[in-house]
Amino acid sequence: MNSFKHFLLCFLLLPTLGIAQQTNHAEYLNQLDFRFIGPDGNRTIAAVGEPNNLMVMYVGMASGGLFKTEDGGTTWWSIFDDQDISSVSALALAPLDPNQVWAGTGETFLIRPAHAMGNGIYKSTDAGQSFQHMGLKETSRIGQIVVHPRNPDIVYVAALGHTYGPQKDRGVYKTTDGGKTWENVLFVDEHTGAVDLALNPQNPEIIFAAFWSIDIKTWGLNSGGAGGGIYRSKDGGATWEALKEKGLPGGKDNPVGKTSVALAYSNPNVVYALFEMDSPQLWKSIDGGDTWELTMINHDINERAPYYTKLRVSTDDPDEIYFASVKFSTSKDGGKSLAVAGYRAGGDNHDIWVDPLNPDRILVAHDGGLGVTWNKQKTYKQHVFPNAQMYHVWTDNQIPYNVYGNRQDGYSYRGPSNSRQGSIPLGLWQAVGGCESGWAIPDPVDNHIVWSGCYDGGLQVYDMRTGHARDVRVWPEAGYGWAPKDMRYRWHWSFPIFISPHNHKRVYVGSQFVHMTEDYGQSWKIISPDLTRNDKSHQQSSGGIATDNLMTFDASVFLPLPNLKLKTDSFGPEAMMVWFS
């Protein structure tokens, strides 16, 4: 390995070197038990309830398993911990037997290159007491599951695929034997997968499928392609037709991004389709999909589409539509206007379930937990779970020591590792600057000082004694909306921060360069060349159909550079460690 590779590995992995050098014996580790210490949880992405039973609900986590309640949400317990996957993305109960629970895995709300992957589909026949893996492992991400209303052995699955390149294991899958075998009944192309389904409850031979062409690289996301759009089958999935032939967007000449489809339970001839385009479009059919009308173009119903794009219809009113996006919006006139625009059920909303037997009861899975209403949105009850997505973890030198980390959709946290209260309540956790992504690292000499990162190169020095957060970012300019090629510095969503073990005032951060400060961020200097390929073709606007430049892909790719010369005098004592570790 050449010297540059040594340097790069050490720069990216230095925070874990001390741990790596220790000998970890399995027999010792097996004697340890994990305990929950906090902080509060966040992202849920799937929800379902037992129809007309207010007591029973299930909620799937982006990367925290599956929870169930049998007392209306007073208590919840995790029912998926014995499985070897943590991302539960789709849930369905068999209408004839609610004890049959289906769980699909793998996130389909994608705006970064590192969303949780899945390993197929699971089934429970005892209301979640136990689960059995039922295949579809290679599909990686499952967006929706629907069960036949009269035959629980017939199940359809929308499989998106891994999204990182061409793949044949994607599309609509069907089983007629309760999951023992599966048939891919609709495959569009290797770049396009299924992400949503809608089944006609009165005529279950009719099924609609929403497809999405999506490709994610380390340097960008490309949403949209000729295969995306809405498809319909009238014979239980034996044959399909692309509804672009009936007037909907889609195809080579009018490509769309992420899509969603829903029909009215009370009148299945009413069907809605939502499309990611330059501006989101809502289309409506009143004849079961034979003809369509564009009813709305509105940014509120589908902001940042790869992360959202989900609509559902009230089960007693075919004109009442619900949209999950940054805000939870409602139309009461069949999609002509928004009656409730901007109500925040929880913020960053992903899944919607409406009770088919009690339309006043609605579940909304969102990035803050689960929202439940029993009175058709007059009020919501919010449920929070122990499922926080933490980017990194760090500890300080105090006794007892404190734990630090950045929580997705939250901020930089500090919490105790122990407490005289007998537990660690959420009130003992506190913000220490920064934001949802990155690192929170205490000064090893003065633990009252915390370095907290944030996307877009955000960086703060937080003083625990005063509660003051000082902005010390390397370059005082936000890059929102800019293509990476036009930015002075390109920052990864979770860029590295490291405090020198030899001089606690010497701090390093990484864009495409290594930056160093020795005065708590008052000034910075660059001590390396560009450590990326600097390939301009990998620094274009991300998003595809709709531009999405929000600092999730901007660092580009590291690679060895010949004849690399570092300013080693800037490193001081750690130069030897960097070069020869």
- Domain annotation covers residue 39: no
In terms of Cα–Cα distance, which of 111, 107, 108, 109 is closest to 542? 111
- Domain annotation covers residue 154: yes
**Residue after which a domain boundary falls, among 362, 383, 404:** 383
Pair (90, 185) in one structural domain: yes
Q: How confident is the model at residue 562 (pLDDT cuts 50, 70, 90)?
A: very low
Q: What is the pTM of this model?
A: 0.91
DSSP character at residue 367: T
Say which residues have a Cβ less than 8 Å from residue 472's Cβ, sequence separation at least 6.
459, 460, 461, 517, 520, 521, 522
What is the rounded distance in angstroms from the CA atom of residue 507 to the CA atom of residue 499? 5
- Domain annotation covers residue 113: yes
pLDDT computed for residue 423 by the predictor: 85
DSSP 3-state of 26: helix
Is the pLDDT at 121 greater than 60, yes or no? Answer: yes
Pairing relationship of beta strands 132-133 and 369-373 according to DSSP bridges: unpaired
Pair (258, 352) in one structural domain: yes
Pair (96, 175) in one structural domain: yes
Pair (18, 61) in one structural domain: no
Is the pLDDT at 568 greater than 70, yes or no? Answer: no
What distance lies between CA 17 and its chain's CA centroid? 29
pLDDT computed for residue 342 by the predictor: 62
More confident residue, 10 or 180: 180
Average pLDDT value for residue range 560-577: 40
Pair (451, 345) in one structural domain: no
Tokens found for residue 7: 């340097």
Pair (457, 419) in one structural domain: yes
Pair (178, 227) in one structural domain: yes
Pair (277, 194) in one structural domain: yes
What is the rounded distance in angstroms from the CA atom of residue 523 to the CA atom of residue 503? 16
In terms of Cα–Cα distance, which of 468, 469, 435, 476 is closest to 460? 469
In the chain, the percentage of residues whose pLDDT exceeds 90 is: 80
- Domain annotation covers residue 244: yes
Lowest mean pLDDT among 335-344, 357-366, 408-417: 335-344
**What is the per-residue pLDDT across 378-406, written as a single tens digit (0 to 9) for each?**
999 999 999 999 999 999 999 999 999 99
In the sheet that 412-416 helps form, which strands lie side by side, from edge to edge?
394-395, 402-406, 412-416, 430-431
- The domain that holds 199 is classified in CATH as 2.130.10.10
Pair (418, 370) in one structural domain: no
In terms of Cα–Cα distance, which of 440, 364, 344 is closest to 39? 440
- Domain annotation covers residue 268: yes
Is the pLDDT at 570 greater than 70, yes or no? Answer: no
210 and 273 in contact (C-beta within 8 Å)?
A: yes
**What is the per-residue pLDDT across 458-510, written as a single tens digit (0 to 9) for each?**
999 999 999 999 999 999 887 888 899 999 999 999 999 999 999 999 999 99
- Domain annotation covers residue 343: yes
**What is the per-residue pLDDT across 423-456, written as a single tens digit (0 to 9) for each?**
898 899 999 999 999 899 999 999 999 999 999 8
Pair (400, 370) in one structural domain: no
What is the rounded distance in angstroms from the CA atom of residue 412 to the CA atom of residue 403? 11
pLDDT computed for residue 569 by the predictor: 39
In the chain, the percentage of residues whose pLDDT exceeds 70 is: 90
**What is the per-residue pLDDT across 23-72, written as a single tens digit (0 to 9) for each?**
567 888 888 888 889 999 999 999 999 999 999 999 999 999 999 999 99
Is the pLDDT at 264 greater than 90, yes or no? Answer: yes
More confident residue, 549 or 210: 210
- Domain annotation covers residue 534: yes
Q: How confident is the model at residue 340 (pLDDT cuts 50, 70, 90)?
A: confident
pLDDT computed for residue 7 by the predictor: 37
Question: In whole numbers, what is the pLDDT of the chain averaged over residues?
Answer: 90
In terms of Cα–Cα distance, which of 108, 101, 95 is closest to 70? 101
**Residue after which a domain boundary falls, among 383, 405, 428:** 383
Is the pLDDT at 567 greater than 60, yes or no? Answer: no
Pairing relationship of beta strands 229-233 and 220-223 according to DSSP bridges: unpaired
Tally the domains of the chain.
Answer: 2
**What is the per-residue pLDDT across 162-194, written as a single tens digit (0 to 9) for each?**
999 999 999 999 999 999 999 999 999 999 999
Is the pLDDT at 377 greater than 60, yes or no? Answer: yes
DSSP character at residue 308: -
- Domain annotation covers residue 205: yes
Pair (372, 457) in one structural domain: no
**Residue after which a domain boundary falls, among 333, 362, 383:** 383
DSSP 3-state of 59: strand
Q: Residue 327's domain spans which residues? A: 44-383
Pair (376, 394) in one structural domain: no
Q: How confident is the model at residue 314 (pLDDT cuts 50, 70, 90)?
A: very high
